[in-house]
Structures are given as structure tokens and as C-alpha cells.
Amino acid sequence: MKTLLVFVLVFLSLTMVYGAGKAPVKPGLRLDFYKSTRCPQAEQLVKQVTEARVRRDATLGAKLIRLHYHDCFVKGCDASILLDTVGTTQSEKDARPNLSLGGFDVIDEIKTRVENVCPGIVSCADILALAARDAVSLPFNRPMWNVLTGRKDGRVSLLSDVTGNLPSPFSNFATLQNLFSNKNLDINDLVALSGN
Ligand code: HEM
């Protein structure tokens, strides 16, 4: 439990402070971004669908937070992990570390629900960040960290961007430290996040 809490708190810093990867705080990101849009209920919709799915499958918390991490480490938290390969241009999804990712269907379900209620407002990048938080938070009965919102979705997703950004299971300590420091994450972040 203690490890999970430390991990969650550090992940908070990853998603809040480094919400867009290397950049320290995106000027457009803020709490409750959608409250002042034509989709004020966005966060509630994400939570409803996420929680319904997590109640049926408790492994989704792990899957969604991993999906979010794999998204954020490559081109920032821009939902580029969700884009499919087009023609011969392979997307991030097809990179080896991403082949065992799960939870895409949950994000699709949330996106469908949100688009049915208020089309064209809520980014997939925000949905992913919120769903990861909501899925992990459900057993604690309260949001475990704040998620700043207002992210824009990326339109580019390249398999070749994954290497050199996401650590491999064979990365040594120096490489892990280096890859994390490229995202402004220090050794404490590396240790805590690895303890998930
Ligand atoms: C520090 C470098 C990391 C490496 C080298 C690494 C590598 C891996 C590998 C090899 C797996 C097994 C994948 C498979 O089943 O084939 C895995 C699973 C997992 N990773 Fe990481 N990971 C790292 C950091 C993280 C971080 C920072 C998070 C979350 C914030 C995370 C979340 C997870 C989760 C939740 C799973 C299990 C997913 C499931 O059971 O569906 N990992 N990781």
C-alpha cells in the first residue's frame, strides 16, 4: 500500500508537472479546463465509464496507468499511443514495448460516450490522463491526484520515436536514469515509479 501511494504521488508529478513530456508545465493546462467549455461534464463522463469498467476488471488500473506512461514518454502526453499504423508507416503502437499494452478499448468506450454527449471538445490525451487517475483511484474512493487538463491530441505517431524514449526491460541503471532525466524526472521519480 505504501509503495502504491509513493508511486501514485510521483505519478502525480509526472502527469501534472510534466504533463507534456519534457516541457515543465504547458501554459494551457489547468484544473477543470472543461468546466468552462461546451462539455462541462467531461470529467464526470470519463469517471463514470472508467469506474464501470474497473468494477468489472480490476486489472484495468495497471493497464491504463501503463498506457498513460507509454504515451507520455514518447512525444509527451498527446495520445499518440492511440494512433494506428497507416499504410507502411508504423505507429508507436507497433513498437515492441507497446505490443503488450492494454486498455485501448476502455479509452475507445470513453471517447464514444463523451463524443455522444458533447462532440469535438474533449481530447483523447486528457481522457487517457483522467482515466488512468480514475482507474487507480477507485479502490481509494477519492481522486489520488489532480489532473490538469487542456491537452491537445498529437497527429503524429511513429514507431521510430519509441526507441530512445521508452526504456527496454534490458536497460541498465545509467540508461534508465538518463531516459528519466530527459523527461525532467530524477532518481527518486525513477525508483518510485519503478515500484509500481
Ligand atoms: C522504468 C522503466 C520501465 C521498464 C523497463 C518497464 C518495463 C516493463 C515490462 C517489460 C513489462 C511487462 C510487459 C509484458 O507483459 O510483456 C511492464 C509491465 C508493466 N509496467 Fe512497466 N516498465 C517501466 C516503468 C513503468 C512505469 C513508470 C509504469 C507506470 C507508471 C509502469 C507500469 C507497468 C505496469 C502497470 C505493467 C503491468 C501491466 C499489466 O499487467 O497489464 N512501468 N513494464
pLDDT score at 91: 98
Per-residue pLDDT, averaged over 134-159, amounts to 97
pLDDT at 17 over 50: no
Cell of residue 132, nine digits: 488512468
What is the helix, strand, coil percentage profile of the chain, to 5? 55, 5, 40
Look up cell 520515436; give the residue: 161
pLDDT score at 25: 54
pLDDT at 10 over 90: no
Ligand 1 atom with the smallest distance to the CA of 167 is: 5
Indicate the pLDDT class of residue 195, thresholds 50, 70 and 90: confident
pLDDT at 8 over 60: no
Residue 193 CB–ligand 1 contact under 6 Å: yes
Among protein residues, the one whose CA lies closest to atom 24 of ligand 1: 194
pLDDT at 11 over 80: no
Helices 104-117 and 60-72: angle between axes, nearest 10 degrees: 80
Write out pLDDT tens, residues 47-106: 999 999 999 999 999 999 999 999 999 999 999 999 999 999 999 999 999 999 999 999
CA of 69 to the centre of ligand 1 (A): 9
Write out pLDDT tens, residues 169-181: 899 999 999 999 9
Q: Between the CA atoms of 62, 64, 68 and 69, what dihedral angle is there, to the nearest 10 degrees?
A: 10
* Total-model pTM: 0.89
CB distance 61 to 138 below 8 Å: yes
pLDDT score at 52: 98
Residue 169 CB–ligand 1 contact under 6 Å: yes
Q: Which domains can be identified in the chain, with CATH numbers?
A: 2-194 (1.10.520.10)
Ligand 1 atom with the smallest distance to the CA of 14 is: 30
Among protein residues, the one whose CA lies closest to atom 32 of ligand 1: 66
Task: Mark 144-162 as b/e (b = at least 16 C-beta within 10 Å).
Answer: bbebbbbbebbeebbbebb
15, 18, 66: which to mutate for ligand 1, most atoms within 8 A of CB?
66
Ligand 1 atom with the smallest distance to the CA of 7 is: 30
The radius of gyration of the chain from alpha carbons, rounded to an integer in Å, stands at 16
Phi-psi region of 150 (alpha: psi -120 to 50; beta: other; left: phi over 0): left
Helices 104-117 and 124-137: angle between axes, nearest 10 degrees: 120
